[in-house]
């Protein structure tokens, strides 16, 4: 993440805390990807979230959030971190309750490969199923198109 982006996240967090009953939290969700072996048929075996428990499938990975919280998704290569890149390009509402300001969140030119969203809606127990889309680059060469994982977010007050 660039310094400018980190300052933006900090500033957004401070502003959001002024209007909420709890201080918002920044959740840094990091996707570890074996960029040397990932294919469209082995995404669940080669891409996992940091902090994801043993035996928990990607589709069952759940993050608990509150309104006002900021979520930042990034990806890293576990096989060649100095050469390969994991670019999170989009978060898309797939089902359940909507908790973001819009259905689709994307990376930006200022921060390619990083997607950020603020929880603006939701009541206790709301659950959103979303699709996280990412690209893998081995050096400068994109590998096998776009990959998808479908985790969840749950609102707890």
Eight-class DSSP state of 119: B
Among the listed residues 63, 53, 37, the one whose alpha carbon sits nearest the alpha carbon of residue 132:
63
Eight-class DSSP state of 58: G
Tell me the C-alpha distance between 36 and 120, whole Å.
Answer: 37
Q: What is the pLDDT of residue 153?
A: 97
Tell me the C-alpha distance between 30 and 62, whole Å.
Answer: 13
Q: What is the pLDDT of residue 157?
A: 86
Angle, CA 8 vertex, CA 33 and CA 77 arms, to 5°:
10
113: left (phi over 0), alpha (psi -120 to 50) or beta: left
Specify the residue for token string 């996707």: 31
Q: What is the pLDDT of residue 23?
A: 83
Report the DSSP beta bridge partners of residue 92.
104, 131
Q: What is the pLDDT of residue 7?
A: 58
In order along its 157 residues, the chain shows pLDDT tens digits of 566 655 555 555 555 554 556 688 999 999 999 999 999 999 999 999 999 998 999 999 999 999 999 999 999 999 999 999 999 999 999 999 999 999 999 999 999 999 999 999 999 999 999 999 999 999 999 998 999 999 999 999 8
Burial degree of 145 (CB within 10 A; 0-12, 13-18, 19+): exposed
Among the listed residues 90, 85, 133, the one whose alpha carbon sits nearest the alpha carbon of residue 115:
90
What are φ and ψ of residue 46, in 5° steps? -110, -5
Q: What is the pLDDT of residue 15?
A: 52
């Amino acid at each position: 993440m660039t310094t400018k982006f980190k300052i933006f996240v900090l500033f957004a967090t401070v502003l959001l805390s002024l209007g909420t009953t709890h201080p918002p939290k920044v959740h840094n969700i990091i996707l570890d990807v074996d960029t040397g072996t990932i294919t469209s048929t082995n995404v669940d075996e080669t891409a996992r979230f940091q902090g994801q428990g043993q035996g928990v499938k990607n589709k069952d990975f759940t993050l608990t959030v509150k309104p006002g919280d900021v979520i930042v998704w990034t990806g890293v290569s576990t096989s060649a971190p100095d050469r390969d890149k994991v670019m999170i390009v989009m978060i898309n509402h797939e089902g359940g309750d909507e908790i973001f300001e819009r259905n689709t969140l994307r990376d930006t030119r200022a921060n390619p490969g990083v997607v950020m969203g603020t929880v603006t809606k939701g009541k206790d127990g709301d659950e959103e199923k979303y699709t996280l889309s990412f690209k893998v680059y081995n050096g400068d060469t994109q590998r096998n198109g776009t990959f998808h994982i479908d985790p969840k977010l749950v609102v707890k007050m």
